[in-house]
Chain A
Amino acid sequence: MSSQQTLAEALLQHGVTRRGFLKYCAGLASMMALPSSMIPRIAEALENAVRPSVIWLSFQECTGCTESLTRSHSPTLESLIFNVISLDYHHTLQAASGHAAEEARINAMEKFDGQYLLLVDGSIPVKDDGVYSTIAGMTNLEMLKESAKGAAAIISVGTCAAYGGLPKANPNPTGAVSVADIIKDKPIVNVPGCPPIPVVITGVLAHFLTFGRLPDLDRDLRPLSFFGESIHDRCYRRPFYDRGQFAKTFDDEGARKGWCLYELGCKGPTTHNACATTKWNQGTSFPIQSGHPCLGCSEPDFWDAGSFYKAFTAPPINVSEAVAPVIAGGAAAGIALGLANRMKKARAERQREHFTTEDLKE
């Protein structure tokens, strides 16, 4: 398939009819969290969208981000999008290895100079000149700088690439940093999550394909369409929060009735991600639906922000009493508590609280 082939042509080659194409566009609009009224415009844009070259670099990571994407649905919109991009370099997925693999990266960089998309998962170690992670004799730092030079844009996939993630957690022995800490002269979009939701990764790719630019971002460089609202605001348990109905332990009456997990350490109010609506495993569930509080994995430095089960989301006052009188104004109360929690989170990050397994027993 030629790299100059348009997405519509590629789909037609796969036997997709006009109605199928419209269905594809409807799915894309839903995937990109765009208003459904955009479907005709998406269809129009995709008629002429040329599939981009993609170079995917993996640094200090666990391959969970790649697993998240490739183990998702099959064959669905995600795989269709993957069929219409030109994935020219990816350690885990490519057939080539050794020098041939590195040659593929160099060739793609030269051929599509200034046009290719650079996807990165994993953080970059910079301590001791970056010796803690190397590929083909190059440090991750060198490879990132070299590959970023000719990129049209960079997508940091996963919390490690976006914010340093687990490798950066205290005491950060390798001096791990994020992509945005190093590259300052390219458009960067962060798709955090541990791992990130696959549809969000492909949603950003689809947005680039459709509109030829990256989506609008928040202050942490995350696409607003997926990270614009907190887990809390989109949580199906939110009505219980507004009524002041909380689970106090993992096996009490409140937990069995599916009440809000706020007092069990849920980070939903300070976490921005699409889990609550997009969900996981073909839309089956997400952590809160499975009875576990949100860990806040798409937020910067979430590993060092306190205990997952206690920490900063425990409000300084009794939430049930504070929230009960303002059921009607639940959103306002949520915002106020959210701000208080953000401050508390920042304080916890500064103080670098240390927790033991004892915290898990509470």
Chain B
Amino acid sequence: MNPFNDIAIEVTDITAPVNDLTDNVKAILFEINALQEGFVNNSQSGIIDLRTLPMLPGEYNMLKQILGEGEVNATLNTLGSSHIMETALTGVWWVTHDDENNERLAEFIEVTEIPDILKSNKNETEMAYTVLKQQLESY
């Protein structure tokens, strides 16, 4: 239970409309664009840690609105839930990690082919292979 979620709060969007970007959002978009350049030209992945950037809820929503939602939306259920969503910009991922109380642990924008946390671990894959093989042998 997160007691703060129980408090009724109306968040007023004090920022300007999307066609008039605030300085904080503009700075992040430039950073994303720089990471895209690195990925397109040198296959260099990059991450932005949103938790370390100064943003108001209004600006946060503005950034989400601008980046939009793409085709992939994955949920990871370990240590609470994590959401890995590709934005409308291909190769730009919005990754959120929450704990068991739905409190935000970390939030990243990743510019990459696919975030590492989605990839299957080699050791665990080998274990899975063995498990299924043993099951099949038991039938």
A interface list, Cβ under 8 A from B: 16-20, 22-24, 26-27, 29-31, 33, 35-37, 39-40, 73-77, 234-236, 238-239, 242, 257-258, 276-278, 281-284, 289
Interchain CB contact under 8 A, A277 and B82:
no
Residue contact B2 to A36, C-beta cutoff 8 Å:
no
Contact pick for B14, options A24, A77, A257, CB 8 Å:
A257
**16 extra A-B contacts, CB within 8 A, seeds A16-B78, A26-B105, A35-B47:** A18-B123, A20-B78, A23-B76, A30-B105, A30-B106, A30-B108, A35-B49, A39-B47, A74-B101, A75-B99, A75-B101, A236-B24, A236-B56, A238-B54, A276-B54, A289-B56
Binary interface profile of B, 39-80, with partner A (CB < 8 Å = 1, else 0)?
000000011110111111001000000000000000010110
- B47 near A17 with CB under 8 A, answer no
CB contacts (< 8 Å) of B108 on chain A: these are 26, 30, 36
Q: Which of A33, A73, A239 contacts B22 (CB 8 A)?
A: A239
A282 touches B2 (CB 8 A): yes
Complex CA–CA separation, A278 to B14 (angstroms)? 21
Q: Which of B14, B97, B100 contacts A27 (CB 8 A)?
A: B97
Q: How many angstroms between the C-alpha atoms of A36 and B35 in the bound complex? A: 13
The residues of B that contact A74 with a CB separation of less than 8 Å are 101
**Mind listing 6 A-B residue pairs with CB under 8 Å?**
A22-B117, A73-B99, A73-B103, A235-B54, A257-B14, A281-B4
Among B79, B107, B110, the one with the most A-chain Cβ atoms within 10 Å of its Cβ is: B79
Q: Which residues on B sit within 8 Å (CB–CB) of A20? A: 78-79
The answer to whether A76 and B99 touch across the interface, beta carbons within 8 angstroms, is yes
- Chain A residues closer than 8 Å to B46, beta-carbon distance: 37
Please name all residues of chain B whose beta carbon is closer than 8 Å to the beta carbon of A73 when the two chains form the complex. Answer: 99, 101, 103
User: B126 interface residue, CB < 8 Å from A?
Assistant: no
Q: CA A36 – CA B100 in complex, angstroms? A: 23
Specify the chain A residue showing the minimal Cβ separation from B106: A30
Q: With contacts defined as CB atoms under 8 Å apart, how many contacts are there between chain A and chain B in the complex?
A: 98
Give min CB distance, A29 to chain B, whole Å: 7
| Contact flag A23-B82 (CB < 8 Å), given A30-B106, A234-B54 | yes
A236 and B59 contact, Cβ closer than 8 Å, known pairs A17-B124, A33-B52: yes
Answer whether A18 and B47 are a contact pair too, CB < 8 Å, given A235-B54, A236-B55: no
**Does A277 lie within 8 Å of B117, measured CB to CB?**
no
Residues of chain A lying within 8 A (CB to CB) of residue B100: 75
With A16-B79, A17-B124, A257-B14 as known contacts, state yes or no: A23 contacts B117, CB within 8 Å. yes
B6 partner residues in chain A, CB cutoff 8 A:
none
Once bound together, how far apart are the Cα atoms of A19 and B4, in whole Å? 28
The contact of B52 among A17, A30, A76, by CB within 8 Å, is: A30
- Chain B residues with Cβ below 8 Å from A36 are 47-49, 108, 110
Q: Which residue of B lies closest to A237 (CB)?
A: B54
The chain B residue sitting closest to A72, CB to CB, is B103
Whether B4 and A236, one on each chain, are in contact in the complex, defined by CB atoms closer than 8 angstroms, is no
Does B20 sit within 8 A of A, measured CB to CB? no
Residue of A nearest to B14 (CB): A258
CB 8 Å contact bits of B98-120 with A (1 = contact, 0 = none)? 01110111111010000011000
Inter-subunit contact A19/B117 (CB<8 Å): yes
| B123 contacts across to A, CB distance below 8 A | 18
- Tell me, in angstroms, the Cα distance from A283 to B4 when the chains sit together: 10
Point out which of A23, A33, A258 has the most chain B C-beta atoms below 10 A from its C-beta.
A23
Contact indicator A236/B105 (Cβ below 8 Å): no
Verify if B10 is at the interface (C-beta below 8 Å from A).
no
Judging by beta carbons under 8 Å apart, are A26 and B78 in contact? no
Q: Find chain B residues with CB under 8 A from A284 CB.
A: 4
**Docked pose: A258 CA to B16 CA in angstroms:** 13
Docked pose: A75 CA to B104 CA in angstroms: 12
Q: In this assembly, does B121 line the interface, its C-beta being within 8 Å of a C-beta of chain A?
A: yes
Give complex CA distance A261, B60 in Å. Answer: 22
Contact A282 B23 (CB under 8 A): no
Given A238-B54, A278-B51, verify A283-B104 contact (CB < 8 Å). Answer: yes
Tell me the minimal C-beta distance from B88 to chain A in angstroms.
22
Q: How far is the CB of A83 from chain B (nearest CB, A)?
A: 13
Which of A24, A76, A276 meets B103, CB within 8 Å?
A: A76
Residues 1-23 of chain B: 1 if any A CB is under 8 Å from the residue's CB, otherwise 0? 01010000000001000000011
Q: How far is the CA of A180 from the CA of B14 in the complex (A)?
A: 45
Q: Do A19 and B76 touch (CB < 8 A)?
A: yes
CB closest chain-B residue, reference A229: B52
- Max count, chain A CB within 10 A of own CB: residue among B55, B104, B106, B123: B106
Query: Which A residues lie within 8 Å of B4 (CB)?
Result: 281-282, 284
